[in-house]
């Protein structure tokens, strides 16, 4: 977990919300690649449905611990908490090639998308969840206070994701017209 946090936040400051979503996506991707039961992993890490979707107090605690050990910097800018790892953190938390590939994809998302765009991506992207995972999506958005707002602005967010080359036309059409 600590290695994922440090490596996701390695290039520039990212918001804590984006990092939370990035860790969620990292664990989901790792579960799919390795054949793990994602709900067991999410439970272990303490991910639960929250106001803005998947949230883990454990991840927040790890951020505080990593900051305390000097592996990351935390900057509170107005109401936004920004996180960036440093050389000490990267030297202490190296990842193998397979995990770095997943981290590379997650980093692209958290560095390219703003926090609401990445939340939309996780809520609505049909490529993230297979049909048997539909319960995961419903569970992690069940307490969301923003799902309806994201749904109402679906066209806007799809255009943003297309413009930023996060999704392709087929995925855009599935989000807009498919059964989500």
Task: Give the list of residues 6+ apart from residue 14 with CB closer than 8 angstroms, or none.
Answer: 8, 22, 82, 83, 84, 110, 111
pLDDT classification of 180: cutoffs 50, 70, 90: very low
> Cβ distance 118 to 107 under 8 Å?
no
Write out pLDDT tens, residues 24-54.
999 999 998 999 988 899 999 999 989 988 9
Is the separation of the CB atoms in 166 and 152 below 8 Å? no
User: pLDDT digits over 5-27, tens only?
Assistant: 999 999 899 999 999 999 999 99
Report which secondary-structure segment, H or E, holds 108.
Answer: helix 97-112
Q: What percent of the chain has pLDDT over 90?
A: 72
Taking CA atoms, 17 is separated from 42, 133, 144, 155, 171, in Å, by 17, 23, 14, 22, 24
pLDDT band, very low/low/confident/very high, at 169 (cuts 50, 70, 90) = very high
**What residue segments make up the domains of the chain, in order of their start?**
2-177
Q: Taking all residues of the chain, what is their mean pLDDT, rounded to a whole number?
A: 90
What SS3 state is found at 120?
A: helix
The pLDDT tens digits of the residues spanning 47-79 come to 998 998 899 999 999 999 999 999 999 998 788
Strand partners, 15: 82
């Amino acid at each position: 977990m600590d290695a994922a946090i440090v490596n996701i936040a390695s290039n520039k400051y990212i918001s804590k919300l984006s990092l939370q979503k990035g860790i969620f996506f990292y664990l989901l991707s790792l579960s799919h690649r390795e054949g793990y039961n994602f709900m067991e992993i999410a439970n272990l890490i303490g991910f639960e449905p929250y106001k803005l979707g998947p949230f883990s107090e454990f991840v927040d605690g790890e951020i505080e611990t990593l900051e305390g050990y000097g592996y990351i910097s935390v900057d509170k800018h107005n109401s936004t908490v920004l996180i960036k790892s440093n050389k000490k953190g990267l030297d202490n938390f190296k990842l193998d090639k397979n995990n770095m590939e997943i981290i590379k994809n997650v980093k692209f998302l958290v560095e390219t998308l703003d926090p609401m765009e990445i939340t939309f991506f996780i809520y609505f992207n049909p490529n993230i969840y297979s049909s048997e995972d539909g319960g995961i999506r419903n569970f992690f958005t069940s307490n969301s206070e923003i799902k309806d707002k994201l749904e109402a602005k679906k066209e806007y967010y799809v255009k943003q994701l297309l413009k930023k080359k996060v999704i392709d036309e087929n995925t855009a059409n599935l989000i807009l017209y498919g059964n989500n």
